[in-house]
Copies of this chain bind each other. A is one copy, B any other.
Amino acid sequence: MEASVGVVHQSCPGYVSEPFATLVANRPDDDSYPAADFRTEWGPIFHRGRLDGTARVLVLGQDPATHETISRRILVGEAGQRLQGLLAKVGISESYVMLNVYLYSLYGQGGGNRQLKNQQIADYRNAWLDALLVNTEVTAVVALGDLATSAYTSWSTSRAPAASGLHLSSIRHPTYAEGAARGSGRPLAETTADQLANWNDHLPALAAHLTPEIAVDLTPYGTAWSAGDLAPIPERDLPPGTPAWWRDIASWAVRSGTDAQQKRATITVTVPKGARAWPPLKK
């Protein structure tokens, strides 16, 4: 490899081993995911993290958002970095796997709850949970928000022997504070304090049910985010060749358009200012 200069890069190997190769090949399309409730036109986005048996904790999120639709891995961006920070506190740096309740991004109101009863969607999700939780090294599950908690509970009640060995931390979603502030009119500072208090409540029990890979630091969160509360998303979590700024907290993808039709059809990807390393350009 005489051409090798500079750093050695890592990347996510994808879905090459079983049962994940078969799960991805047999994913449900809009036959079971109705296009009224899901943005099926952007394709399914499956996971982030370890599928090689080294995961010690499963994180269950909700549905892929705008950035995830381009990066093809879930929980990237600021939500992802907040979550990485939480995992770091309980001693986990890379030994995790993340899954969502839904393969496709939710569209419109009510679909999130309504589609919890969709048996085809649940069967497929449960096949992933079986693969990741039955006879594996995972000892704890972190459910992000109510949908994730419901979906996990639905799995765990039907898999009583396997699930009995798993700790469940059901916590606020990493961007709960922003959503709650928008929805309620309460100040973001208040909803952020609520979210961090909720995370603090769950830290000790979660740590107690995990074998750490790095030093545990259960110093509670304050009432606002501090710089050290976020942790970077590892390069090895994203597909080969994807730019580093796809893992940064600076927003880089947005649904754009002047009406609902155009907005559903469009994602604009913009290199953040801090990642524009090119020389001055001629007009």
Contact = CB atoms under 8 A, between A and B. Distances in A.
Interface of A: 1-11, 13-16, 19, 22-32, 35-36, 39-46, 70, 72, 103, 107, 120, 123-124, 126-127, 239-243, 245, 256, 259-261, 264-271, 275-279, 281-283
A266 B268 contact: yes
5 contacts: A3-B28, A24-B241, A72-B240, A264-B278, A265-B276
Contacts of A259: 283
B3 A36 contact: no
A260 B269 CA distance: 16
Contact of A72 (B28, B103, B242, B281): B242
A28 B4 CA distance: 7
Contacts of A43: 241-243
A34 to B, nearest CB: 9
A4 B26 contact: yes
Contact of A14 (B40, B127, B240): B240
B13 A16 contact: yes
A123 B3 contact: yes
A25 B6 CA distance: 10
B6 A28 contact: yes
Contact of A3 (B3, B14, B26, B265): B26
A25 B8 contact: yes
Given A31-B6, A120-B3, A266-B268, A41 B243 contact: yes
A269 B70 contact: yes
A120 B5 contact: yes
B243 A256 contact: no
- The residue among A16, A259, A275, A278 with the most chain B CB atoms within 10 A of its own CB is A278
A204 B15 CA distance: 40
A261 B281 contact: yes
A275 B275 CA distance: 32
B239 A36 contact: no
What are the 10 A-B residue pairs with the smallest beta carbon separation, nearest first?
A3-B124, A3-B123, A4-B26, A260-B281, A43-B243, A265-B271, A35-B278, A44-B241, A43-B241, A6-B31
B278 A41 contact: yes
A2 to B, nearest CB: 6
A254 to B, nearest CB: 10
A279 B108 CA distance: 12
Contact of A277 (B5, B24, B35): B35
Contacts of A22: 1
